[in-house]
Amino acid sequence: MKKSGLTLLFVAMLFVLAACGGNSSSSDKEGSKSASNVSSGEEIYQQNCIGCHGKDLSGGGGPSLKEVGKKYNESQIADIAQNGKGSMPSGMVDEKQAKEVAKWLAEKK
């Protein structure tokens, strides 16, 4: 039983690393073109987060973010986006991107 649990955890971690891989050069360009922080945050989410959290924020490999603004404030969301939490690895986005996506996600209540 322990072996299968560890195997499942290992597979989940591989999925997180593979599916949620960022593309920072593209998101830097897109973020600078965006007129508002909300759309920039949404673009960053689409480029870096949908693989684990779903196109509609419903989750999958990662938890649902549909009401993340009820649970965490903008600063906490930015910290998690940049530094990871649980099975989410750190470094998925840089500090500026984390702040942008946090502004957008904090409105999800």
Mean pLDDT of the chain: 79
Alpha-carbon distance of 58 to 62, in angstroms, equals 9
Instruction: Tell me which residue range forms the domain holding 8.
Output: 2-106
Average of per-residue pLDDT across 90-101: 95
Q: Could you read off the pLDDT of 42-93 as tens digits, one per residue?
A: 999 999 999 999 999 999 999 999 999 999 999 999 999 999 999 999 999 9
| C-alpha to C-alpha distance for 45 and 51, rounded to whole angstroms | 10
Share of the chain above pLDDT 90, in %: 63
For residue 30, pLDDT beyond 80: no
Number of domains in the chain: 1
Residue 18's CATH number: 1.10.760.10
